[in-house]
């Protein structure tokens, strides 16, 4: 299950207090990684995690590399990542801040294994938040939806996840993003399902529409690269209309703006199963089978191949 997380531009007083406590721990150490044109400073207690320091460094470098490949570079030139040890195994969740400096905090189990880190989505998701301007709380669905959608595609493009696994998760989870009775559109329905997976539905529809309108030449990935390049990412406040207009202008379509007009104030229920079948994604047992002669299979291949 996908854990809630949030991108925020400023840390709350409670968060700052906890950071002071972490900073006071004498065992913590800094490591600097250079990846995707950025210097990523990693702040963690070398003795806290059973898997060892090298495994942790490899995980952070791999995650930063996945995001850098998707965007063409790491979203910021500098970032600090602080690992907060917790009991148990696994990656427990994260939060991303942009001010005063790019900063990601991740709660990590002391018994986390190399395999869990290899399959982790949390750090890729958090790093993706750095690439989008802050559009305000009403549009958290865009920030969380993009991070949810991009994480899957970016990991497949980097060879960190199989394409079938990514689509299988979409088939399982994306229906949670569809409107329920009483829904008032993405801008006014702030449930977990609509925020994370409803936003991801918007991204999938946009990606397919851009590829179709541009005869496969461009996709959402090109639009997001342009939005990052022109805005500088999460440290910038932009109205959502400017974000979408900038993305559309970069690929020569109105896909993002048109979808937003349709979905912001009105519950829209696309036939996802029909769309996946057209893309050549067919459910089979608990997974999927990819069909290469489906009508929109070229669109799927272009999305997965990327820029």
- Rounded Cα distance between 118 and 55, Å, is 9
| Distance between start and end Cα atoms, the chain | 30
- Rounded Cα distance between 76 and 174, Å, is 29
Map 134-188 to HEC letters.
Answer: ECCHHHHHHHHHHHHHHHHHHHHHCCCCCHHHHHHHHHHHHHHHCCCCCCCCCCC
Count of residues that interact with Zn ion, criterion CB under 5 A? 3
Residue 193, classed as helix, strand or coil, is helix
Residues in CB range of 193: below 8 A, 6 or more apart: 176, 177, 178, 180
Can you give the C-alpha Rg of the chain in angstroms?
19
Give the residue closest to Zn ion by C-beta. 5
Identity of the residue, 147 or 223, whose beta carbon is nearer to Zn ion in the bound complex: 147
- Rounded Cα distance between 202 and 123, Å, is 22
Identity of the residue, 149 or 260, whose beta carbon is nearer to Zn ion in the bound complex: 149
What is the footprint of Zn ion within residues 194-213 (CB under 5 A)? Answer: none
Of 44-52, 71-79, 146-154, 224-232: span binding Zn ion (CB under 5 A): 146-154
Identity of the residue, 104 or 158, whose beta carbon is nearer to Zn ion in the bound complex: 104
CB of 148 to Zn ion, least distance (A): 8
Residues in CB range of 57: below 8 A, 6 or more apart: 31, 33, 42
Contact pick of 33, 91, 146, 147 for Zn ion (by CB under 5 A): 147
CB of 46 to Zn ion, least distance (A): 27
Contact pick of 5, 84, 210, 256 for Zn ion (by CB under 5 A): 5
CB of 125 to Zn ion, least distance (A): 5
Strand 281-284 and strand 103-109: pairing? unpaired
What is the footprint of Zn ion within residues 39-78 (CB under 5 A)? Answer: none
Which helix (H) or strand (E) covers residue 50, if one does? none
Of 37-45, 72-80, 143-151, 170-178: span binding Zn ion (CB under 5 A): 143-151
Long-range pairs, 177-183, Cβ under 8 A, ≥24:
177/145, 177/201, 178/269, 178/272, 179/267, 179/268, 179/269, 183/267
CB of 126 to Zn ion, least distance (A): 7
CB of 24 to Zn ion, least distance (A): 28
Identity of the residue, 166 or 279, whose beta carbon is nearer to Zn ion in the bound complex: 166
What is the footprint of Zn ion within residues 250-279 (CB under 5 A)? Answer: none
CB of 130 to Zn ion, least distance (A): 11
Of 46-54, 79-87, 136-144, 288-296: span binding Zn ion (CB under 5 A): 136-144
Which helix (H) or strand (E) covers residue 217, if one does? none
Identity of the residue, 105 or 300, whose beta carbon is nearer to Zn ion in the bound complex: 105
Strand 28-35 and strand 38-45: pairing? antiparallel
Interaction of residue 302 with Zn ion, rule CB under 5 A: no
Of 3-11, 166-174, 187-195, 212-220: span binding Zn ion (CB under 5 A): 3-11
Q: Which residues form the interface with Zn ion (CB under 5 A)?
A: 5, 144, 147
């Amino acid at each position: 299950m996908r854990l809630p997380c949030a991108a925020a531009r400023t840390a709350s007083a409670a968060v700052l207090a906890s950071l002071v406590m972490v900073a006071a721990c004498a065992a913590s150490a800094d490591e600097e990684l250079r990846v995707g044109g950025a210097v990523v400073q990693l702040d963690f207690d070398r003795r806290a995690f059973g898997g060892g320091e090298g495994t942790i460094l490899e995980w952070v470098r791999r995650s930063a590399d996945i995001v850098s490949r998707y965007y063409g570079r790491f979203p910021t030139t500098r970032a600090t990542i602080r690992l907060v040890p917790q009991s148990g195994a696994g990656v427990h969740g994260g939060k991303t801040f942009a001010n005063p400096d790019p900063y990601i905090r991740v709660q990590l189990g002391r018994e986390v294994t190399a395999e869990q880190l290899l399959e982790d989505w949390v750090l890729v998701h958090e790093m993706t938040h750095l690439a989008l301007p802050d559009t305000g709380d009403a549009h958290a669905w865009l920030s969380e939806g993009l991070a949810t959608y991009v994480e899957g595609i970016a990991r497949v493009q980097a060879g960190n996840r199989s394409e079938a696994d990514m689509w299988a998760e979409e088939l399982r989870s994306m229906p949670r993003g569809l409107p329920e009775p009483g829904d008032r559109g993405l801008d006014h329905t702030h449930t977990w399902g609509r925020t994370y997976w409803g936003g991801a539905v918007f991204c999938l529809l946009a990606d397919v529409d851009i590829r179709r309108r541009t005869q496969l030449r461009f996709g959402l990935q090109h639009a997001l690269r342009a939005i990052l390049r022109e805005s500088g990412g999460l440290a910038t406040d932009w109205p959502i209309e400017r974000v979408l207009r900038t993305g559309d202008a970069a690929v020569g379509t109105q896909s993002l703006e048109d979808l937003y007009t349709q979905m912001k104030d009105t519950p829209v229920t696309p036939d996802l199963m029909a769309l996946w079948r057209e893309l050549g994604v067919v459910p089979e047992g608990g997974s999927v089978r990819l069909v290469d002669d489906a009508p929109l299979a070229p669109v799927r291949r272009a999305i997965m191949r990327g820029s």
